[in-house]
Amino acid sequence: MTTIAFIGAGSVVFTQGLLADLFGLELGPLEIRLHDIDPERLGTAAAAAAYIAREHDVTPQITTHLERRAALDGADFVINIVQVGMNAATHVDFDIPARYGLRQTIGDTLGVGGVFRALRTFPVLRGLADDIKEVCPDAWLLNYTNPMVMNVWYLKALGVRNVVGLCHSVYWTMQGLSELVGVPYDDVTYLAAGVNHQSWVLRFERGRENLYDRLDEAIATDPELLRRVRVDMYRRLGFYPTETSEHSSEYVPWYLGHTSEVERLRLPVGAYLDIVAENLATYEQTRNALKSGNPVEVEPTMEYAPQIIHSIVTGTPRTVYANVPNTGLISNLQSGAVVEVPSLVDASGIQPTAVGDLPSQCAALNRSYLNVAELTVQAALTEDPRAIRQAVMLDPATAGTLPVEQIWSLCNDLVLAHHNYLDPPLRAVLR
């Protein structure tokens, strides 16, 4: 029997999609263990899991666990989807920086929002890592929790043997680009590499045809495309970035700090707060429907975790994009940093592909991103509160907006607001 533990299963909408994918695959006997610290959300997740199993005519063993270690004991796969602090903490990450005039759109990957999301997540990840090393050391930890690079880097530093970060951005970017150039996705071949939410489409082809030529034609004939951050970055850098314009705008100093660019590129400042509200409404609708016995619509996700589990369990080979430590995979990025590369998956596990050098301009931007991530991880590992401020000082979007004195003041305010979630040595207010 294959045992899969969901950590943070109370993220019900995401849990539902992953379960729908899993139950649609031929995996043999399954045990699904759902863990969350919120009893109501855990109960809703269990009801949703049972409903989806009935819809797929499968009979997995489904158990719920308020205690994490029981859910992990002997597991083959662990899917991490925790969000520490939930909606209230997310609002803090947006509201306090906004008082300083700092704009954010998503705030979950880099920037001050990403840094503090990581710092409040690390203590939970440390407990998760300790449990995995003791009760399921050979399990594959499939991490979806953002900030992806910082979290996977930290988990690897803690000694988790098999950890990989998963994100759908490359897949959906290539779906969108294929549609934009009028070529069926199944006819397209591509190669992307970089860091999570800032990888680069290095090759985009159909047979021997370079589809970048078609993309250039599409941009030339549709002026509205010029009002997308990703298109603007592609025109100037020569390679298309693999995350949405909202995300991409946060990792560089050129856009959010300038009102004219926010307007030109139609950047939705604070967009993630709308997503948070929508997710909460969807959760409540799902909970109420399950309680009343009404049908629940669950869409397949095409996420990588179910595909990876299927490949490892059955030996079916497939390629996914994975976030893994850089062991020479991208030769002009920092060794040991977490990078995003195509990876073969089969019965032997996940085998990342070495890509070599990125184009210099792309690697330079990735290194700026990784500098912030590295200092954030080091702040936690060395318990150094100064490293928090140094990470935010090096963040391109923050440094492009605020003077250094205000950056330190902003960090102090966020430390005070999030102090219950932070490790005690990191709660210091520094002048």
Q: What is the pLDDT of residues 90-130, one digit of tens each?
A: 999 999 999 999 999 999 999 999 999 999 999 999 999 99
* pLDDT at residue 315, as a whole number: 97
Strand-strand pairing, 198-206 and 240-241? antiparallel
Which residue among 56, 168, 258, 419 is the active-site one? 168
Hey, what's the torsion of the CAs at 116, 118, 123, 125, to 10 degrees? 160
Residues of the chain with confidence (pLDDT) below 70: none
168 catalytic residue (yes or no): yes
Output the furthest CA–CA distance in the chain (Å, rounded): 61
Domains of the chain and CATH, by start: 88-106+166-269+310-422 (3.90.1820.10)
pLDDT of 360: 98
The confidence score (pLDDT) of residue 286 equals 86
Structure token pair of residue 128: 């998760």
pLDDT of residue 354: 98
CB 155 within 8 A of CB 161: no
Rounded CA-CA distance 241/340 in Å is 12
Q: Can you give the pLDDT at residue 234?
A: 98
Q: What is the pLDDT of residue 167?
A: 96
Note the pLDDT of residue 12: 77
Q: What pLDDT score was predicted for residue 13?
A: 80
User: And the tokens for 26?
Assistant: 């031929």
In this predicted structure, what is the pLDDT of residue 282? 86
Q: Are 218 and 181 in contact (CB under 8 A)?
A: yes
Amino acid letter at 324? V
